[in-house]
Structure 1
Amino acid sequence: MLSRRSFGVVAGLLGLAACGVNTGREGAGGGTVRHWYHAYGEDGVQDAVRRYAAAYPGARVEVQWNPGDYDSKVLTALQTSAVPDVFEAQVKVDWVRQKQVVPLDDLLGDTRDDFVRALLDSQTVDGKLYGVPQAIDTQVLYYRRSLLEKAGVTPPKTVDELIDAAKRLTAGGVRGLFAGNDGGVGVLTAPLLWSAGLDFLSDDGKAPGFDDPRAATVFGKLRELNQSLLLGAPTDWSDPGAFVDGLAAMQWTGLWNLPKITAAHGDDVGVLPFPRLDADGAESVPVGAYSAMVNARSADIEAAKAYVKWLWVDKSDYQTEFATAFGAHLPARKSLAATALRDGPGKEVVGFVTSGGRIASPARWSARANTALSDAVSRIARRGADPAGELRAALDVAREEIARLDR
């Protein structure tokens, strides 16, 4: 859901390995570690991770850059292949149950308490850590101060105020809000739940967290919001183009786009968390992080783990650069946070993460449950379907998935 840094046939995938490969030097132990990344949108990231790989003294490292549907490529590879040895993702319970990934608790040592606890928790299943967080990403509501002032609109603090602001800001070829060409279904489902004081799962993970009439209420609000949303933009929510080009007065998009947005609009930019539904809800921003994980089919698991430890535990200078030098991100380690976003809108976003950051992709929230809920929200928002009826079906699927994972 969360990332800029978003989340086929195996033979075809392996054939890509020669493309975008960087070669490190042979270490004393020999062998090759194959490391997959998704295709980051910021300039410089690909060169940086190749440079990191070349600097590793323990083995030859090949970096594969994966444009397109990275998540599907990873799913396919984990089921059938020893490649990649190391890859970035967000852990899912099914991977653990099927023994497709290996625990990495022994890599952290005395640095464990330095990692943001919520990130480690999000990569932990049954008490074991399966991913070492690389950097923190979040999403916020950007708005043009001058356009809100001209329309007599104050920055929205509730969902109803957001709906009203989007309506009043829609004028003269400018739409009030852009939250993706799917009408906000992909990126606003979680913040809407949180705005009502709900979540995907209950606190103990044993039940759906949206079995409450307030869920139907808040998803009905997305239907109202859709009347003022920009749809059919040239780029989707993760790119700032619609906001930069003046197609929308507000946009829900990633913190990583802050440099491009401020370059375009200067100090005419404000940022907000997603607003609360009412006094019983909460403001929030989604927090997520791709983490480095090790394929359980790797031909040399210990070599893969050693490389992950070197890059994402030992090399704090690389970790700082990765988080702060390409777009705007937050380091996954508290001791490195002082280097990031110390003023302006960026400093405000740090406050949003601290006070209202919520894990965007819980490990126990399955892909099937997520699809069922997303499809229901889409029908509510785009077709005006009955919220209560749609959510009953999604709740049934979520309960089935929770029961399956508990078996």
Structure 2
Amino acid sequence: MTGLTAAVTALGMAAALAACTGPGSDDVTLKLVAADYGDSPANSSQKYWDRLAAAFEKKNPGIKVDVSVYSWSDVDAKVKKLVADGHAPDMAQIGAYSDYAARGKLYSADDLLSIPVQSDFLPQLADAGDVARVQYGMPFAASTRLLFYNKALFAKAALTPPRTWAELQADAKVLKARGVKIPYALPLGKEEAQAETMMWMLSGGSGYTDDVGDYSLDSPQNVKTFDWLKNDLVGEGLTGPTPPGELDRAAAFAAFTRGDVGMLNGHPTLMRMAAKKGVSFGMVPMPGVDGPARSTMGVADWMTAFRQNGHKEQVGKFLDFVYSEKNVLDFSREYDLLPVTHSASDAMSGDPRDQKLSKFLDALPNSQLYPVGKTSWAQVSAGIKREIGTAVGPHGNPGATLGSLQRAADRAENAE
């Protein structure tokens, strides 16, 4: 009996082990860290991701998705620490990717996505996700910039929206004469100076890089642009009481929603902010030297997938789901952002519900993005935030400031 008992016991243990290693034992939990696009608890991105994860899990019972959402001021640092501590998430939806790609920590889009999904990305956004001609950054959300103007202030002054720098200056002078506190808001403070800088560089016919991708911060066109800003806009007292180098984008947006600003550059979120405050506004392309700027600034945020946990197949399934037309549209509509795929963009362009975003959509094909594929960009961008405001100050020298930034950019690039 002892032998039989042992045999039965052994069989029981084997059965128990089989139960433990049966269906469900190979379940995978994917960790995703994402940024919060909401402006209140009611529309936190956590709610979007929780709904999306639940829908995905229902279709893929062997895969769970655990999403942690952080504010934009914290999310990049959170992911950086997780990676440094050896606990990289499976995916991170963040603002930059090139440093992780350069260190070999990321899966490429080719590793993960089905061909139909990868080919659906808008080309200029997909290209911006490349490092050494391999796509590691998958665009997740996009926006462009337009010149916003206060319709009520313009109507009272019998003004029309500007198409050129000269017209912008003339409108600003009239608004100043009529007592408008900030005729044109020029936020060159540390929060997002690199954005306002790039918009003006593009309107002047240049940008951060030249045609072959080298930094060109001190190009003749850029020096001319900042000479004009210093002398013809700031020097004429048309940018309000706060020095541009001390004015952050958030403060400029808030002033616009109070009715204190005549004109400023803005992205789609400003539409909702202004509408909530009852400010009537219009939007036009950024003025250029002789007419509307031929290109505007585009911005993309990025989805990345880390190699550390080795869940390539499961991550690929989830991202194929994330980038379906329906899910891209749902996210874009929830947060007034532009779709990153052809299919969702085409659907939005043809839907009357999305007409408020039509001008931003129209600007996207000709937009230019930050040079995020350069691992030096984070360092260069930080330098711009620190220094560019001094270029338009009373003792500023645009050529000298841009030259200093160019030399720093060259050093950062050569150090790679």
| TM superposition score category, shorter chain reference | 0.7 to 0.9
Structure 2-normalised TM-score?
0.79
Q: Deviations over 1:81-105 (max 9, x none)?
A: 3232211124443322222322122
> Matches of 1:252 and 1:235 in 2, distance apart?
12
1:169 aligns with 2:179: no
Task: Check whether the contact 1:92–1:366 (CA below 8 A) recurs between aligned residues.
Answer: no
Deviations 1:349-373 (A, max 9, x none): 322223x311134311521222233
- 2:322 maps to 312
- 1:363 paired with 2:373, answer yes
In structure 1, distance between residues paired with 2:193 and 2:227: 12
Pairing partner for 2:256 from 243, 263, 284: 243
Tell me the amino acid that sits aligned with residue 340 of structure 1.
Answer: M
| Maintained 8 Å contact 2:34/2:67 | yes
1:209-228 matches, cutoff 5 A: 209-224=216-231, 225-226=233-234, 227-228=237-238
Measured after TM superposition, the shift of residue 181 of structure 1 is 7.1
1:137 corresponding residue in structure 2: 143
Q: 2:196 aligns with which of 182, 188, 191?
A: 188
Cα contact 1:239–1:257 (8 A) shared by 2: no
Return closer, same or farther for 1:28/1:383 CA change in 2, 3 Å cut-off. Answer: farther
Structure number with greater Rg is: 2
> For the Cα contact (< 8 Å) 2:31–2:89, is it kept in 1?
yes
Task: State how 1:4-403 maps to structure 2 within 5 Å.
Answer: 29-42=26-39, 43-44=42-43, 45-57=45-57, 58-67=62-71, 68-106=73-111, 107-170=113-176, 171-172=178-179, 174-180=181-187, 182=189, 185-205=193-213, 207-224=214-231, 225-226=233-234, 227-230=237-240, 231=242, 236-237=249-250, 240-262=253-275, 264-265=277-278, 268-278=280-290, 282-297=293-308, 299-302=309-312, 305-313=315-323, 315-324=324-333, 326-340=334-348, 345-354=356-365, 356-364=366-374, 366-403=377-414
- Report the CA distance shift for 1:97/1:349 in structure 2 as closer, same or farther (over 3 A): closer
d(CA) in 2 for partners of 1:88, 1:79: 17
Q: Which amino acid aligns with 1:335?
A: S
1:156 is paired with a residue whose SS is: coil
- What does residue 16 of structure 1 align with? none
CA distance in 2, matches of 1:89, 1:290: 6
Moved more, 149-158 or 163-172: 163-172
> Which segments of 5 or more consecutive residues in structure 1 lack a partner in the other structure?
1-25
Does the 8 A contact of 1:89 with 1:290 survive in 2? yes
Q: Distance in 1 between matches of 2:217 and 2:125?
A: 23
In terms of fraction of residues, the more helix-rich structure is 2
Residues 82 and 370 of structure 1: CA distance in aligned 2, closer, same or farther (over 3 Å): same
384-393 or 82-91, which deviates more: 82-91
**Structure 1 residue 36: deviation in Å?**
1.0
Q: Output the amino acid matched with 1:31.
A: V
Q: Work out the CA distance in 1 between the residues paired with 2:395 and 2:247.
A: 25
Deviation of the 1:52 alpha carbon: 1.0
CA contact (8 A) 2:117 2:320 kept: no
Instruction: Count residues in correspondence.
Output: 373
* Residues 60-99 of structure 1: per-residue CA shift (max 9 Å, x gap): 2211111233223333333333232211124443322222
The residue identity in structure 2 corresponding to 1:50 is D
In 1, Cα distance between the equivalents of 2:56 and 2:269?
27
Percent sequence identity is 20
Structure 1 pair 97–180 and aligned structure 2 pair: CA distance change class (3 A): same
Gaps of 5+ in 2: 1-22
Q: Note the C-alpha offset of 1:323.
A: 0.9
